[in-house]
C-alpha cells in the first residue's frame, strides 16, 4: 500500500507500450483487433479535505494520520491495476491532469476510451461527517476521427455518515485513527468504485440492444435516503448494502447510496 510511485510507473509503462502497439501496424495486424476500451484514470491529488458550509480546509489535527489522503488513491490504483482481475479494459492509463489525458487519447485514434476523473472529500453536516467521492466519467468513441463522440456522466458516491464535529474533534477521534472506521470506508470506496468502473467500461464495447434492462427503484422495492430519487429512477448497479441509481436532477447523474441495514428478525 506504500509503493504508489512504483505502481503508477509500472501502469504507465504498460499503457504506453500498449498504445504504441495499437497505433503502429506490425506482424499482428492480421489478427482480430482488441476492441476493448482503454481506461484513463485521473486519481485524486493531495490530502483529504474537510468541507464545511461550502468551504474546504484541512482535517483537524486530531483526525489526521500519516497518510494525508488516507490511502485512497493508492488503494484505487491497486484495485484497478491487478492483472488477475480480468478487467474489461484493454489497458489502464494513469493521468495526472486533463491535458495529459487528452494527449493520451491522441495515440488511440479510432478507438474507444473511458476517462474517469476521481475526487474525494469529507463533508461535515450537523455533528456528522460523510466521505464523498465524485467521479466524472467521459466515454469517448472513435477518438480523433470525424465521428468522435463524448458522453459525460457525473457520479456521486456517499459513504455512511460518521459521528464527528470539527469544533471538538477529540471527542470522535476514534473514528479517524489509522485503520479506524474512516479508513475502512476509504478502502471500501476504492473497491466499490473499481467494480462500478468495470461494469461501465464493459458496456461500452457492447451494443445498446444487448444491454440488460435496468430495473427501477420501485421494481426492486428499495428506498434509499435520497431526496433527489424517484421510484421510477433506473438502478445502474447493485452491491451488498449499496445501490447506484440514475437520477433526473442534474440530468443523468448517478448517485451511489448506502442502504440502511435491515433489522435482524432473530433479535
Q: Which residue has the higher pLDDT, 87 or 20?
A: 87
Domain interval for residue 245: 214-261
Number of domains in the chain: 2
The partner residues of 52 in beta bridges, in order of sequence, read 55
Query: Does 220 share its domain with 140?
Result: no
On whether residue 22 sits in a domain, the answer given is: no
On whether residue 254 sits in a domain, the answer given is: yes
CA angle 24, 25, 28 (to 5 degrees): 125
Confidence of residue 236 (pLDDT cuts 50, 70, 90): very high
Query: Does 189 share its domain with 221?
Result: no
Query: Does 61 share its domain with 174?
Result: yes
- The arithmetic mean of pLDDT across residues 183-198, rounded, is 96
Percent of the chain with pLDDT over 90: 70
Residue 263 has pLDDT above 70, yes or no: no
Query: Does 250 share its domain with 118?
Result: no
On whether residue 191 sits in a domain, the answer given is: yes
Query: Does 229 share its domain with 123?
Result: no
On whether residue 6 sits in a domain, the answer given is: no
Mean pLDDT of the chain: 85
Amino acid at each position: 500500500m506504500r509503493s504508489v510511485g512504483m505502481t503508477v510507473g509500472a501502469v504507465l509503462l504498460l499503457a504506453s507500450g500498449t498504445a504504441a502497439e495499437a497505433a503502429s501496424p506490425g506482424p499482428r495486424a492480421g489478427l482480430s483487433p482488441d476492441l476493448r476500451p482503454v481506461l484513463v484514470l485521473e486519481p485524486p491529488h493531495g490530502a483529504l479535505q474537510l468541507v464545511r458550509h461550502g468551504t474546504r480546509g484541512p482535517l483537524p489535527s486530531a483526525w489526521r494520520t500519516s497518510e494525508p489522503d488516507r490511502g485512497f488513491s493508492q488503494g484505487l490504483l491497486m484495485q484497478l491495476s491487478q492483472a488477475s482481475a480480468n478487467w474489461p479494459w484493454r489497458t489502464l492509463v494513469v493521468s495526472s491532469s486533463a491535458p495529459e489525458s487528452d494527449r493520451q487519447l491522441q495515440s488511440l485514434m479510432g478507438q474507444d476510451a473511458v476517462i474517469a476523473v476521481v475526487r474525494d472529500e469529507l463533508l461535515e453536516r450537523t455533528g456528522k461527517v460523510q466521505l464523498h467521492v465524485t467521479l466524472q466519467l467521459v466515454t469517448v468513441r472513435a477518438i480523433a476521427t470525424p465521428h468522435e463522440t463524448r458522453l459525460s456522466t457525473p457520479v456521486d458516491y456517499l459513504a455512511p455518515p460518521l459521528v464527528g464535529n470539527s469544533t471538538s474533534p477529540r471527542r470522535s477521534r476514534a473514528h479517524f485513527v489509522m485503520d479506524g472506521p474512516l479508513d475502512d470506508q476509504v478502502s471500501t470506496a476504492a473497491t466499490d468504485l473499481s467494480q462500478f468502473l468495470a461494469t461501465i467500461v464493459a458496456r461500452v464495447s457492447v451494443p445498446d440492444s444487448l444491454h440488460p434492462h435496468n430495473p427501477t427503484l420501485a421494481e426492486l422495492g428499495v428506498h434509499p435516503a435520497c431526496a433527489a430519487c424517484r421510484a421510477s429512477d433506473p438502478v445502474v448497479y447493485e452491491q451488498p448494502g449499496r445501490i447506484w441509481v440514475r437520477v433526473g436532477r442534474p440530468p443523468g447523474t448517478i448517485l451511489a447510496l448506502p442502504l440502511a441495514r435491515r433489522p435482524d428478525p432473530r433479535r
